[in-house]
Amino acid sequence: MPSGRTGVGRRARVVHAFSDSEAFGRRLARAAGLGYARVAVHRFPDGESLVRVRAPAGTHAFLVRSLHDPNAKLVETLLAADALRRAGARSVTLVAPYLPYMRQDTVFRAGEPISQRVVGECLGRAFDGVLTLQAHLHRTPRLGDVIRGRARSLSAAPALADWVRRSARGSLVVGPDEESEPWVRAIARAAGTSWVVGTKDRLGDHTVRISFPPLPRAAHAVIVDDIASSGGTLAETAHALRRAGVRRIDALVVHPLFGPGALARVRAAGVRRVLSCDTIPHRTNSIAAAPLMAAALS
């Protein structure tokens, strides 16, 4: 049975979190002043999942799960939405600090799906609302274009700008590719510093090529990216910056997916500090996203 009855009582608004998102769920509940309950998952021998939520679930349920490593998690998350409604919730909002499958937003090669739309349609049918942070929206301007209902992707720019202002004053804010330009510009403006973006060619899952226009003189650069997966983008950006004479390089990432060996690769490229938002539990976590997301819930 689900445990973690903390503060559920007869509250109307309750955060329900899977155990792999427990720390984030508790921080969110605390910051938003909501009740908290844990979602339990039983795995059958054949690999199917049985999800159990706290009942009664509260009138408005906020289901928290960061959806990195998404394939099994997506199914369990859809099952939990159904369970919450059957346990009395009149509205169910998914709070996914990291939302997957947003990068496949077009058919890059014949025979591929548009994964962003498939996943977006499932979530839109299951939930009344979806809240996430810095979804990878490139060709799709708004999250609402792929998820019906109340769908919102918050910008991580204020939180990253705050770090640059406090810990890397006067540094050059660097985006690896043209896609990153709007938010790189927003971070640099809010931090009161200059910015530049590169050009990226992806040659494979682990291999990218990055180039820059002539750079402004800078002793200290902060690379910002929404996702770090193989670490290739951060590492190659750092190599390009070093070739251009930048000696001190830090990196800020919103979603630290970091596969095996990825962080070591980034460090070996000469990145001094690697920091991330806590949307995915990782040892680089140092920027809290829960307060931003809690503010959006109210």
176 touching ligand R5P, by CB under 6 A: yes
CB of 229 to ligand R5P, least distance (A): 4
Q: Which of 21, 171, 233, 276 binds ligand R5P (CB under 6 A)?
A: 233
3-state secondary structure of 54: coil
3-state secondary structure of 98: coil
CB of 8 to ligand R5P, least distance (A): 37
Q: Are the C-beta atoms of residues 273 and 250 closer than 8 Å to each other? A: yes
Nearest CB to ligand R5P, comparing residues 171 and 233: 233
179 touching ligand R5P, by CB under 6 A: yes
153 touching ligand R5P, by CB under 6 A: no
Residue 224 has a CB neighbour count (10 Å cut-off) of: 28
User: What does DSSP assign to residue 248?
Assistant: E
Q: Are strands 49-52 and 35-43 parallel, antiparallel or unpaired?
A: antiparallel
CB of 276 to ligand R5P, least distance (A): 12
Strand partners, 182: none
Q: How far is CA 222 from the centre of its chain?
A: 19
160 touching ligand R5P, by CB under 6 A: no
66 touching ligand R5P, by CB under 6 A: no
CB of 227 to ligand R5P, least distance (A): 4
Q: Which amino acid is at 81?
A: A
Q: Are the C-beta atoms of residues 53 and 36 closer than 8 Å to each other? A: no
Question: How far apart are the C-alpha atoms of 84 and 258, rounded to whole Å?
Answer: 32
Q: Which of 116, 140, 153, 230 binds ligand R5P (CB under 6 A)?
A: 230
116 touching ligand R5P, by CB under 6 A: no
CB of 283 to ligand R5P, least distance (A): 16
Region 208-227 residues binding ligand R5P, contact defined as CB under 6 A = 208, 225-227
229 touching ligand R5P, by CB under 6 A: yes
Nearest CB to ligand R5P, comparing residues 238 and 246: 238
Q: Are the C-beta atoms of residues 5 and 37 closer than 8 Å to each other? A: yes
CB of 237 to ligand R5P, least distance (A): 9
3-state secondary structure of 277: strand
Task: Report helix angle 22-32 to 290-297, nearest 10.
Answer: 50
Nearest CB to ligand R5P, comparing residues 93 and 180: 180
232 touching ligand R5P, by CB under 6 A: yes
How many residues contact ligand R5P, by CB under 6 A?
12
Stretch that binds ligand R5P, among 9-17, 27-35, 191-199, 231-239 (CB under 6 A): 231-239
- Bin 274: left if φ > 0, else alpha if -120 < ψ < 50, else beta: beta
Question: How far apart are the C-alpha atoms of 100 and 67, rounded to whole Å?
Answer: 6
228 touching ligand R5P, by CB under 6 A: yes
Residues that bind ligand R5P (CB under 6 A): 176, 179, 208, 225-233
